[in-house]
């Protein structure tokens, strides 16, 4: 609608329009297993306020969320649980690997810790840091929004490939 | 400087408070159990803060139930039960029992030397709390406890191969399982 109330048109592709909606309404599922979870809470709270980016609706059920924020160490016994949670989320879904431990195992290069969650689930955006500052989370969130808008995430590529009738892969480094 | 060089320390005021108690207790133990007590180590002479008593594996339950109940000892709390792998040494493992007495109040440490494949009598008959601690020692070191009511892995996945806190277990011996740990159906029934 124009400023004087007259009708104005905006032409776009339907896909872009849907992705525009998706990127501005990310519903995160907090998977905070250790100290990074505290920093994630800080980025949600008043000072940093993730609501500015439309990602404040935390959902603790994987069925209602589309952004999985893995914040913390994933020990090898937790890895199948994480995979389960990811599988239970409805497509399209996105994963943020929050902090050094989730991204690479961090300082815990031992038998009991998964060396990066990308060995278990496909990850769209990594946030380095131990723990990352809330600014890092917001930066990662904006990069993720860019990628969602372009349709350039694991989940969207998988859906697009399936729509073209191609055989899809799990997107994992180690399956 | 060799990092193993003992550093002079006062160990707080433990020694002033309990040295006499410990000495009389160890004298009583050696008089009662004789050859079952392999060795005793007192603080300062050895780098330790509480006395360490090495006991023969066969006699450990008898000794510990004695120090739990005898009025001169009354070490009524099993504060920790764990193990150490001293791999080049033989026997290889040491099972460690840390005891605490509420009434004195002081601590004492008992150890049992175990070689590979040898089992240790379970302590669950004396302290029920030893149950899970012994399961953890079994899980991490592979030391078997004879007579334990339920000797299963407690921390690691049931499909895990090897015992990760052994010195010869590779530090980066990752084992990632794609599916969640299978549950023994008999455990789900009451």
Contacts of B179 in chain A (CB under 8 A): 80
CB contact under 8 A, B164 and A120: no
Interface of B with A in 95-114 (CB under 8 A): none
Give the residue with greater pLDDT, A2 vs A151: A151
CB contact under 8 A, A119 and B175: no
Under the banding of pLDDT at 50, 70 and 90, the label for residue A174 is: very low
Domain boundaries, chain B: 14-155
A153 touching B (Cβ < 8 Å): no
In order of A105, A107, A114, the CA distances from A119 in angstroms are 11, 17, 8
Does residue A163 surpass a pLDDT of 50? yes
* Per-residue model confidence as pLDDT tens digits over B86-96: 988 889 999 99
Under the banding of pLDDT at 50, 70 and 90, the label for residue A175 is: very low
Does residue A173 surpass a pLDDT of 80? no
* Per-residue model confidence as pLDDT tens digits over A26-36: 999 999 888 88
* Per-residue model confidence as pLDDT tens digits over B1-55: 677 776 666 566 777 788 889 999 999 999 999 889 999 998 878 888 889 999 9
- Interval A9-21 mean pLDDT: 86
- Cβ distance B72 to B24 under 8 Å? yes
Which of B174, B179, B181 is opposite residue A111, by nearest beta carbon?
B174
Under the banding of pLDDT at 50, 70 and 90, the label for residue B134 is: very high
CA dihedral A54, A60, A66, A67 (to 10 degrees): 70
User: In the CATH hierarchy, which fold is given to the domain comprising B14-155?
Assistant: Beta Polymerase; domain 2 (3.30.460)
CB contact under 8 A, A77 and B164: no
Q: What is the DSSP letter of A131?
A: S
Measure B81 CA to nearest chain A CA, in Å.
22
Euclidean distance between CA atoms A117 and A98, whole angstroms: 10
* Per-residue model confidence as pLDDT tens digits over B108-125: 999 999 999 899 999 999
- Cβ distance B172 to A109 under 8 Å? yes
CB contact under 8 A, B172 and A109: yes
**pLDDT value at residue A162:** 80
Under the banding of pLDDT at 50, 70 and 90, the label for residue A96 is: very high
* Closest alpha carbon within chain B to A78: B180
């Amino acid at each position: 609608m124009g400023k004087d109330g007259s009708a104005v048109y905006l032409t776009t592709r339907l896909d872009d329009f849907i992705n525009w909606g998706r990127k501005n309404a990310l519903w995160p599922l907090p998977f905070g297993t250790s100290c990074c979870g505290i920093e994630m809470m800080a980025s949600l709270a008043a000072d940093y306020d993730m609501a500015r980016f439309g990602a404040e609706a935390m959902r603790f059920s994987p069925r209602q969320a589309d952004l999985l924020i893995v914040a913390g160490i994933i020990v090898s016994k937790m890895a199948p649980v994480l995979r389960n949670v990811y599988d239970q989320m409805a497509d399209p879904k996105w994963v943020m690997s929050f902090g050094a431990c989730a991204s690479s195992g961090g300082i815990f290069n031992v038998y009991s810790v998964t060396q990066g969650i990308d060995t278990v689930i496909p990850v769209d955006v990594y946030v380095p840091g131990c723990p990352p500052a809330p600014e890092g989370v917001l930066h990662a969130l904006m990069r993720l929004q860019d990628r969602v808008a372009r349709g350039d995430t694991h989940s969207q590529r998988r859906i697009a490939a399936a729509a073209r009738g191609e055989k899809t892969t799990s997107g994992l480094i180690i399956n | 400087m060799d990092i193993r060089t003992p550093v002079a320390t006062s160990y707080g005021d433990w020694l002033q408070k309990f040295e006499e108690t410990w000495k009389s207790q160890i004298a009583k133990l050696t008089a009662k159990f004789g050859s079952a007590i392999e060795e005793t180590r007192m603080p300062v002479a050895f780098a330790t803060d509480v006395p360490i008593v090495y006991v023969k594996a066969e006699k450990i339950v008898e000794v510990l139930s004695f120090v739990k109940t005898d009025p001169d000892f009354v070490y009524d709390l099993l504060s920790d039960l764990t193990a150490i792998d001293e791999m080049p040494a033989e026997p290889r493992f040491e099972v460690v029992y840390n005891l605490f007495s509420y009434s004195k109040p002081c601590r004492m440490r008992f150890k049992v030397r175990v070689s590979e494949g040898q089992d240790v009598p379970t302590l669950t008959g004396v302290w029920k709390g030893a149950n899970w601690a012994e399961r953890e020692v079994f899980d991490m070191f592979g030391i078997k406890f004879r007579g334990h009511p339920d000797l299963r892995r407690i921390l690691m996945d049931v499909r895990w191969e090897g015992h990760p806190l052994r010195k010869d277990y590779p530090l980066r011996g990752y084992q990632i399982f794609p599916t969640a740990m299978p549950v023994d159906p008999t455990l789900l029934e009451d």
